[in-house]
């Protein structure tokens, strides 16, 4: 069966726990979905963005949950149903029957769908057997922003699994702008934001300030204002967010997406550590 390709892909991972294995299975489904969406032509109209993009395209050392996209041109009429058939057929090729469920809220600019597969254990062999109390249902959320802020820069990358195919993505400065917007505007603490922030800071990634300014004016506490942001504005506001962050909550969020080696660094998380990393980054721009 072609599902052997999926099983072989799973065997390439190194697991330390059942959670690691489940994260890997979910990631394989994400990769299959990207290939299917590439075949269906989505990337002529939309770009891959967010933490899963950073993971799959750039090798971020944490797992991720959702597949996030932004249209290249605003289109409030975008519907996932145009891609549902292609997604289902492509998964069947690899021995996985999935359901595609549209869950877009009426009037929302964020168009949401889910890829769902029950009883994954029927087609894959687990290294860590899962009992009845542990889910065997995969659910991958797909979200596309049908009214994205202007200013993103795009590029084309090739993914290798399950076969080489092109994916339109936001470039790193645009991805960093999206992450800064999340850190500045999110109304709850998401530790994955802080993990990704360290990744960008450590690589001295510049921020697409045009995209960030447009995003801040579109959604969040600065919505509707006329901002004129620069690097100094961004640094000061990031510092303000860090100083107010409950880091034990952030650590609890991100820990389940990390392997044992990556998780070691969480012992140092706190305002002092993050402010030091911001200062190192500030000195290079």
What's 139's DSSP letter?
Answer: E
Confidence grade of residue 162 (pLDDT, cut at 50, 70, 90): very high
**Confidence band for 134, pLDDT divided at 50, 70 and 90:** low
How much is the pTM?
A: 0.94
- 246-259 residue pLDDT tens: 999 999 999 999 99
pLDDT value at residue 16: 84
Is residue 240 pLDDT above 70, yes or no? Answer: yes
Largest CA distance in the chain: 57
Residue 237 in tokens: 């506001």
Q: What is the pLDDT of residues 120-132, one digit of tens each?
A: 766 778 887 776 6
pLDDT in tens, 275-284: 999 999 986 6
Say how far residue 125 (Cα) sits from the centre of its chain: 26
pLDDT of 191 strictly over 80 = yes
Q: Which two tokens stand for residue 201?
A: 């800071």
The span from the CA of 59 to the CA of 29, in Å, is 17
Instruction: Report the distance separating Cα 11 and Cα 34, nearest Å.
Output: 20
pLDDT at residue 224, as a whole number: 85
Q: Hey, CA dihedral for 65, 98, 128, 59, is it positive or negative?
A: negative
pLDDT band at 35 (very low <50, low <70, confident <90, very high): very high
In this model, does residue 285 exceed pLDDT 60? Answer: no
Alpha helices in the chain (DSSP H): 3-11, 18-40, 51-58, 81-93, 172-185, 191-202, 209-218, 231-243, 247-255, 260-263, 271-282
Position 137 scores a pLDDT of: 87
For residue 80, which phi and psi values (nearest 5 degrees)? -70, -25
The per-residue pLDDT for range 41-86, each reduced to its tens digit, is 999 999 999 999 999 999 999 999 999 999 999 999 999 998 998 8
Render 73-131 in DSSP notation, one character per residue: S--TT--THHHHHHHHHHHHHTT---EEEE-PPTT-SEEEEEEEES-GGGTS--SS---
What is the rounded average pLDDT for all residues in the chain?
93
Is the predicted pLDDT of residue 211 greater than 80, yes or no?
yes
How many percent of the chain have pLDDT more than 70? 96
Confidence at 136, pLDDT banded by 50, 70, 90: confident
* Prior bond of 162 cis (ω within 30°): yes
């Amino acid at each position: 069966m072609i599902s052997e390709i999926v099983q072989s892909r799973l065997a390439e991972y190194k697991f330390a726990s059942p959670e690691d294995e489940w994260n890997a299975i979910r990631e394989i489904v994400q990769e299959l979905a990207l290939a299917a969406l590439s075949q269906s032509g989505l990337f002529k109209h939309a770009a891959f963005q967010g933490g899963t993009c950073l993971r799959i395209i750039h090798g971020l050392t944490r797992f991720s949950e959702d597949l996030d996209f932004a249209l290249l041109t605003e289109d409030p009429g975008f519907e996932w149903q145009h891609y549902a058939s292609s997604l289902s057929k492509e998964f069947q090729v690899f021995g996985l029957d999935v359901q595609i469920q549209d869950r877009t809220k009426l009037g929302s600019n964020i168009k949401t769908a889910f890829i769902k597969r029950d009883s994954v254990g029927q087609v894959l062999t687990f290294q860590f057997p899962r009992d009845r109390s542990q889910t065997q249902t995969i659910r991958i959320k797909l979200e596309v922003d049908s009214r994205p802020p202007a200013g993103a820069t795009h590029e084309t990358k090739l993914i290798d699994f399950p076969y080489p195919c092109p994916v339109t993505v936001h470039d790193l400065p645009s991805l960093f702008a999206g992450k800064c917007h999340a850190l500045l505007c999110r109304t709850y603490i998401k530790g994955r934001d802080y993990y990704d922030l360290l990744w960008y800071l450590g690589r001295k990634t510049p921020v697409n300030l045009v995209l960030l300014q447009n995003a801040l004016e579109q959604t969040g506490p600065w919505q509707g204002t006329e901002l004129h942001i620069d690097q100094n504005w961004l640094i000061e506001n990031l510092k303000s967010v860090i100083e107010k962050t409950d880091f034990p909550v952030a650590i609890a969020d991100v820990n389940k997406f990390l392997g044992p080696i990556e998780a070691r660094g969480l012992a140092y998380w706190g305002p002092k550590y993050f402010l030091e990393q911001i200062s190192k980054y500030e000195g290079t721009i």
